[in-house]
Amino acid sequence: MKVGFIGLGTMGGSMAYNALQGGNELTVHDIRRESATRHLEAGAAWADTPREVAEASEIVFTSLPGPTEVEAVALGEDGLFQGLTEGKVYLDLSTSTPGLIRRISEEAAVRGIHVLDAPVSGGPGGAESGRLAVWVGGDKEVFDRCKPVLDAIGDAAYYVGPVGAGSVAKLVHNCAGYVVQCALAEVFTMGVKAGVEPLALWQAVRKGAGGRRGMFEGLAEHLLPGKFDPPDFALRLARKDVDLAVGVGREFDVPMRLANLALQELTEAMNRGWGGRDSRVAMLLQEERAGVEVRVDEEALRQAVEG
């Protein structure tokens, strides 16, 4: 397949190279031509502008720093839309905004051009090895047509939903990770200042319930099916534990901003009379504030977990 690739940085350079190694014809462009050295040596063609990449390709990928660059490359002077023609496909691998890719998709649809958002997760090592998750939003038939190329780039190309859905999934994933990162920094500084050696602390907690499973696995047990009874661990006990941790933080003068927010949340849930329910029932408070229920049919959820 004739593939175009724009943006040959830390992530994009490896993804483009893997697309070439997957047996595709490759045309590349970057603001720094030297970024394309290994691609050109391996048989790729160089284009001076995004427009020229689009003219030479059936499918064009961009891997760019953010929304500003995506908009400029797609819609700007000598941009992709000046070279893409009916039936061609544009996939943005960048971490961008769902609003922008939806607007780009609307402009593309008028010209018969297909647009998918396809942000990736796996870091530079994953980009090089091909062990990447690729979360795709857009037309399912177009996704299926592009999947052979996506499979050359990553090992977990997954169709999420309509255009923009891939970007939403990426932002949920990344934001959750950094919120957890802040929480871990908070509780580990508390633990070390309270007298526990860092390595011993890490080795201890990683064998607990939270350390033995992935960050999102617990959602399938309670929030997604909406099952909080009978409890695996009662809310009143969870509140007690967080209260004790916050108390240790006070004792050793460790700021515990996130832990105090969690304590407030659990306390509000207790005041709803939910003390005997599973501790995850406190997540319903955020559903109320957001005005949305996060629910999945139990059979569909079981199949997803087993799959």
pLDDT digits (tens, 9 = 90+) for 114-147: 999 999 999 999 999 999 999 999 999 999 999 9
Task: Characterize 25-42 residue by residue with b for buried, 16 or more Cβ atoms within 10 angstroms of its Cβ, and e for exposed.
Answer: bbbbbbeeeebbeebeee
Confidence tier at 27 by pLDDT (50, 70, 90): very high
Quick one: 11 and 134 in the same domain? yes
In a domain, 72, yes or no: yes
Quick one: 160 and 224 in the same domain? no
Quick one: 221 and 152 in the same domain? no
Angle in degrees, 0-180, between the axes of helices 165-193 and 98-110, rounded to the nearest 10: 170
Residues 6+ apart with CB under 8 A from 264: none
Instruction: Quote the pLDDT of residue 258.
Output: 95
Return the active site residues.
170
Quick one: 93 and 232 in the same domain? no
- Count other C-beta atoms under 10 Å from residue 7's C-beta: 26
- What CATH number does residue 77 fall under? 3.40.50.720
- What CATH number does residue 226 fall under? 1.10.1040.10
In a domain, 254, yes or no: yes
Quick one: 153 and 31 in the same domain? yes
Q: Is pLDDT above 90 for 184?
A: yes
Facing residues of 3 across strands? Answer: 26, 59
- What would the mean pLDDT of 198-211 be, rounded to a whole number? 90
Instruction: Quote the pLDDT of residue 296.
Output: 94
- Contact in structure between 235 and 284 (CB atoms under 8 Å): no
Residues of the chain above pLDDT 90, percent: 94
Q: pLDDT tens across 264-278, in order?
A: 999 999 999 999 999
- Using only the alpha carbons of the chain, give its radius of gyration: 23
In a domain, 205, yes or no: no
In a domain, 184, yes or no: no
Q: What is the chain's mean pLDDT, rounded? A: 95
Q: What is the pTM of this model?
A: 0.90
Give the total number of structural domains in the chain: 2
Q: Is pLDDT above 90 for 218?
A: no
Quick one: 155 and 9 in the same domain? yes
Rounded CA separation 7/27 (Å): 11
* Residue 307, domain extent: 216-307
Quick one: 120 and 11 in the same domain? yes
User: Of 169, 202, 237, which closes a domain?
Assistant: 169
User: Of 108, 135, 169, which closes a domain?
Assistant: 169
Instruction: Quote the pLDDT of residue 139.
Output: 98
Percentage helix, strand, coil for the chain under 3-state DSSP, each rounded to 5: 55, 15, 30
User: Of 169, 199, 230, which closes a domain?
Assistant: 169
Q: Is pLDDT above 90 for 307?
A: no
In a domain, 207, yes or no: no
In a domain, 303, yes or no: yes
In a domain, 199, yes or no: no
Question: What's the burial of 283, exposed, middle or buried (CB within 10 Å: 0-12/13-18/19+)?
Answer: middle
Confidence tier at 210 by pLDDT (50, 70, 90): confident
Instruction: Quote the pLDDT of residue 212.
Output: 79
Quick one: 33 and 115 in the same domain? yes
Q: pLDDT tens across 66-90, in order?
A: 999 999 999 999 999 999 999 999 9
Quick one: 46 and 161 in the same domain? yes
Q: Is pLDDT above 90 for 65?
A: yes
In a domain, 186, yes or no: no
Q: Is pLDDT above 90 for 213?
A: no
Question: What's the burial of 306, exposed, middle or buried (CB within 10 Å: 0-12/13-18/19+)?
Answer: exposed
Q: Is pLDDT above 90 for 279?
A: yes
Quick one: 90 and 223 in the same domain? no
Rounded CA separation 53/94 (Å): 17
Quick one: 141 and 46 in the same domain? yes
Quick one: 165 and 224 in the same domain? no
Tokens of 281: 């029932």
